[in-house]
Amino acid sequence: MKPSSFEYHRPTTPEEAAELLTRFGDDAKVIAGGQSLMPMLNLRLAAFEHLIDIARLTELSGITQDSGSVSVGATTNQATIGRSATIRRAVPLLSKATPLIGHFPIRTRGTIGGSVAHADAAAEYPAVALTLDAELEALSASGRRTIQAAEFFTGIWSTALRDDEILTRITFPVWEGRIGHAIAEFSRRKGDFAMAGACVAVKVDENARVEKCNIGLFGLGPVPMRATATERSLVGCSIDALEVREIGHAAVSDLRSVPADLHGSAAYRTRVGATMVARALTSALEEAIDD
Ligand SMILES: Cc1cc2nc3c(=O)[nH]c(=O)nc-3n(C[C@H](O)[C@H](O)[C@H](O)COP(=O)(O)OP(=O)(O)OC[C@H]3O[C@@H](n4cnc5c(N)ncnc54)[C@H](O)[C@@H]3O)c2cc1C
């Protein structure tokens, strides 16, 4: 199928893109890599009179490391993130998540900003942003603002971005010390969206006790989520005493809106989610004590 007709705009600056969004309001949509938007337009699940192409705005692309954080421009494509030595070293969870997104040709076009703004509850990057307490910068004609990842994902394919805002960059804190990061997911075929998945970032102190542990869940509700009660319960525990299978079950025990479809019931997905938490926690702890 073909999309309904639209007027194509290619602004030369992010500010011009934001002005176009303000001018055309609900009739306009930003397009970046097009890997989610184009299928929706082609299938006529969505239609817009104006498409504002931000893919070639160089100001929105690139990876920069400052003291304590790494910023990734919204139009940086997923393949570039997967190849980045800076990301591998400073934000290893983002690096590990990247090969799980679709297939390589999709990652050469798909952008981090598109993935996070699209906010599929089963997508990897939104879960990584939430797990690492990333900060998201939004630009509109009236200026810039920062949104915490914990406040960004508001519902199914919905975010705190206003219709007149563009996501410009995502900033990840760099974890230091005895740290480990892991992502585990289950999908029916390689490259498919996950049926259930988990991200873990853990920091261990010199006595092999958990100092900090962030657990993100994806594919298990309308938005990516944190298992905050389980995270808190782990702080101060000796890693030798941790029962990862029990922790996995605890992390998913409070979930109330697990999706059910022809691929799996809510109960099945919940069990898979528990296993993914246990696997990711095991890998992250192994990495932390190897440091
Ligand atoms: C076959 C296939 C398999 C896939 N598998 C996976 C997978 O396993 N995991 C996964 O996470 N993804 C998967 N994807 C989706 C892919 O990762 C997309 O790249 C991503 O979801 C959207 O990025 P994009 O740059 O292509 O965004 P686009 O498709 O261009 O845009 C998506 C949405 O985000 C908005 N948007 C884009 N950029 C911005 C911005 N900077 N500011 C504000 N709004 C913006 C657009 O307006 C649109 O609503 C798959 C896609 C395909 C086609």
Residue 1 pLDDT exceeds 80: no
What are the residues facing 169 on neighbouring strands?
73, 137
User: For a substitution probing ligand 1, which of 10, 13, 35 has the most ligand atoms within 8 Å of its CB?
Assistant: 35
Q: What is the mean pLDDT of residues 251-259?
A: 94
Residue 225 banded pLDDT, cuts 50, 70, 90: very high
> Residue 254 gets which letter from DSSP?
T
The CATH architecture annotation of domain 58-173 reads 2-Layer Sandwich (3.30)
pLDDT at 291: 64
Q: Write the CA distances from 139 to 13, 66, 124, 225, 260, integer angstroms.
A: 12, 21, 24, 25, 36
160, 119 contact by CB (below 8 A): no
Which residues does residue 9 pair with via DSSP β-bridges, in sequence order?
Answer: 52
pLDDT at position 240 is 94
| Phi/psi at 136 (5° precision) | -115, 130
| Cα–ligand 1 centroid distance for 166 (angstroms) | 14
Residues in the ligand 1 pocket, defined by CB under 6 Å: 29-37, 39, 54, 74, 101-102, 106, 109-111, 113-115, 117-118, 123-125, 161, 166-167, 193
Q: Which two tokens stand for residue 104?
A: 């390589």
Q: Please choose from 37, 61, 187 the residue to mutate so as to test ligand 1's pocket, defined by most ligand atoms within 8 A of CB.
A: 37
**Three-class secondary structure assignment of 13-46:** CHHHHHHHHHHHHHHEEEECCCCCHHHHHHCCCC
Instruction: Provide the terminal-to-terminal Cα distance of the chain, rounded to the nearest Å.
Output: 52
- pLDDT range class, residue 252, cuts 50, 70, 90: very high
Ligand 1, atom 6: nearest CA belongs to which residue? 102
48 CB-near residues (< 8 Å, 6+ apart): 6, 27, 28, 29, 41
Instruction: Please give the distance, rounded to the nearest whole angstrom, from the Cα atom of residue 35 to the centre of ligand 1.
Output: 5
Give me the residue spans of the domains in the chain.
7-53, 58-173, 179-290
User: How do the residues of the chain divide into helix, strand and coil, expressed in percent and rounded to 5?
Assistant: 40, 25, 35
CATH number of 7-53: 3.30.43.10
pLDDT of residue 290: 85
Per-residue pLDDT band for 191 (boundaries 50, 70, 90) equals confident
pLDDT band of 182, cuts 50, 70, 90: very high
CATH architecture of residue range(s) 179-290: 2-Layer Sandwich (3.30)
Q: How far is the CA of 207 from the centre of ligand 1 (A)?
A: 42
Average the pLDDT over 57-70 and give the result: 96
Q: What is the pLDDT of residue 108?
A: 97
The closest-lying atom of ligand 1 relative to the alpha carbon of residue 123 is: 11
Backbone angles phi, psi at 37, to 5 degrees: -70, -45
For residue 263, the model assigns a pLDDT of 85
Give start and end residues of each alpha helix (H) in the chain: 14-24, 37-42, 78-83, 85-90, 92-97, 104-109, 112-118, 124-131, 149-152, 228-234, 244-252, 266-290
Using the mean position of ligand 1's atoms as its centre, give its distance from the Cα of residue 247 in Å: 32
Share of the chain above pLDDT 90, in %: 95
Residue 111 CA to ligand 1 centre (angstroms):
7
Q: Would you state the structure tokens that stand for residue 37, as one six-digit string?
A: 């938007």
Question: What is the average pLDDT across 139-163?
Answer: 97
Q: What is the pTM of this model?
A: 0.97
Sign of the alpha-carbon dihedral angle for 155, 157, 277, 286: negative
Query: Mean of the pLDDT values across residues 90-96?
Result: 98
Centroid of ligand 1 to alpha carbon of 110 (angstroms): 6
Average pLDDT over residues 159-172: 97
Average pLDDT for 93-108: 97
Count Cβ atoms within 10 A of the Cβ of residue 210 and give its class: 0-12 exposed, 13-18 middle, 19 or more buried: buried
Residue 243 has what pLDDT? 97
Rounded to the nearest 5°, which phi and psi values hold at 192? -70, 160
Q: How far apart are CA 90 and CA 134, in angstroms?
A: 13
| Stretch 241-248: mean pLDDT | 97
Mean pLDDT across the chain, nearest whole number? 96
Per residue in 200-223, pLDDT (tens digit) is 999 999 999 999 999 999 999 999
| pLDDT (mean) for 35-43 | 95
pLDDT recorded at residue 7: 97
